[in-house]
Structure 1
Amino acid sequence: MALGKSSGFNMATSTYQLEVDIKDQLTIVQAPWHSQPMVDKNALRAAFSSRLHEALDDAGIRRRGRGVDIHRMLKSLGVNKTTQAVSKWLNGEAIAEADSMVALCSWLKVRREWLEYGVLPKEQSGESNVRQLVVSGESNVSEINQRFGKVPLISWVQAGAWSEAISNFESYEADAWLSCPVPISNHGYALKVLGDSMTNPGPGRSYPAGCILFVDPEAETKTGDRVIARVPRTNEATFKILVEDAGRQFLRPINPQYPIIDITEETHICGKVVGSFIPE
């Protein structure tokens, strides 16, 4: 049995469109690649803007002229942003880049996880330069130093063919990228969970709809890892746990209401989930 990164996928002859049924199965049918909708960036921008205004209110920053105050603060710290860029943050049209995000958090005394992603708590602690996120591995939670690398937030269709799309990696819009706080390869990406097949109805780790995943297509996978896989026979891309039983490998959902998927020689592991968080 051969498991590996997605390969043998001819983008010149195969184009796709995502359809999601009530069982969280990601069905792919013919349609132009570039017609695929990205994850709702407008909602992410609006949520960031709302949190930014909330932090400004808490800090007692005036309502009128906020753009000027932010621009002056950034300039004093050597962060050069135009007033137009700052205005877009306040109006929900863009999300601040890494250097600006760090400066805003320092100024407003809020955690970057909260300002950028909505992950509580909001206020900085005494160790504000260390972030705590859920990282896949032997332990459920790991503390790691803050990182400022960004990965694109892509659709599930794009994830299924990511190895073929890497040549266009830098063509994605800048504000469709998320800061990744975990070690990840240069070709890493983020996905937004759809459906509830990885939602735990009981205690334990859960990935509900809306959860953001950080995926590394170059990481080695082993039994027990959370993975993104593509099953060519049914043209489905899915998020499951890689498991093994009696010498055979399967893709298992966390939610017992969904079936286990057999892994065949045609199954390709598109990436390993190396981290995740649930937005507020």
Structure 2
Amino acid sequence: MVDKNELRAAFSARLHEALDDAGVRTRGRGVDIHKHLKSAGVAKSPQAVSKWLNGDAIAEADSMSALSSWLKVRREWLEYGVLPKSQSGDTNVRPLNSSVESNVRDITRRFGKVPLISWVQAGAWCESNVEHDDGDVWLSCPVAISKSGYALRVLGDSMTNPGPGRSYPTGCIIFVDPESEAKAGDRVIARVPRTNEATFKVLVEDAGRQFLKPINPQYPIIDITEETHICGKVVGAFLPE
């Protein structure tokens, strides 16, 4: 399950780090944030700002944009911990071992938010048994995605590459688009028979048959049968700090 408290605490830590780097005073910084947001035309209560600083909430889209602009950090870093941190993009670059999907890139426009759901929910999502607004945590997607898209936090190491190449370690956030057509070689979310949970694998084809293949060779390849349901294509990924 998604740990909402962990996400909030991580955002708060990054916010304090950015404030420290910008030379914003430690005592009374909530007042300084509120004053700046007000001058930027963003109406937030002092209580809301206090929750960000204490790790009780994550700033909304309008506040996130204003804060990152003011503190001269990339919004993707402030919101998710995706490096590089600086807006200049010239320091602290840490690629995901060339493992991030090719269409994950620095973004300059907003693509909307999708719910961060559990793997059990993802299995139900395959059958449209979940309302789109059921997610407790919503993330801004760094790539174009349909309205039925969602995000998952990777669990386990079946998609961790022990060698060079794309890798999706535990904790990695992946964005899934159920409306994108999946073809051989794509990373997909699928619901396999006799389980309510979804699984994350590579869709492969051999001799006219399709399989679900883990990146980690220690895990078995799964045969795709008539009961297997492809729930969506993974269109983006990032590894939070």
State TM-score, norm by structure 1: 0.79
The one-character-per-residue Cα deviations of 1:96-138 (angstroms, maximum 9, x if unpaired) are 11111110000000111111111122111179xxxx99764xx
Q: Which residue of 2 aligns with 1:196?
A: 157
User: Are positions 1:227 and 2:188 aligned together?
Assistant: yes
Partner of 1:108: 71
CA contact (8 A) 1:233 1:266 kept: no
Give the secondary structure class of the aligned counterpart of 1:161. helix
2:124 is aligned to 161
1:211 counterpart residue number:
172
Paired position in structure 2 for 1:28: none
TM-superposed CA distance for 1:84, in Å, is: 1.1
Cα 1:279–1:197 shift into 2, 3 Å: same
Deviation at 1:172, TM superposition (A): 3.5
Tell whether 2:16 aligns with 1:53: yes
Cα-Cα RMSD: 2.0
Please, which of 221, 226, 233 is the counterpart of residue 260 of structure 1? Answer: 221
Alignment gaps of 5+ in structure 2:
none
1:73 aligned partner:
36
- For residues 142 and 43 of structure 1, the distance between their equivalents in structure 2, rounded to whole angstroms, comes to 25
Relative to structure 1, is the Cα distance of residues 194 and 111 closer, same or farther in structure 2, using a 3 angstrom cutoff?
Answer: same
2:190–2:198 Cα contact (<8 Å) kept? yes
Identity %: 80
Q: TM-score, normalised by structure 2?
A: 0.91
The Cα of 1:232 is off from its aligned counterpart by 2.3
Identify which of 45, 53, 60 aligns with 1:82. Answer: 45
Q: Which moved more, 1:146-155 or 1:231-240?
A: 231-240
Higher RCO, 1 vs 2 (CA within 8 Å, ≥6 residues apart): 1
Matched with 1:64 is 27
Equivalent pair of 2:104/2:237 in contact (CA under 8 Å): no
User: Which residue number in structure 2 is paired with residue 271 of structure 1?
Assistant: 232
Question: For 1:251, what is the secondary structure of its paired residue?
Answer: strand
C-alpha deviation, 1:141, in angstroms: 5.4
Which residue in the other structure is 2:80 paired with?
Answer: 117
Aligned residue pairs, count = 234
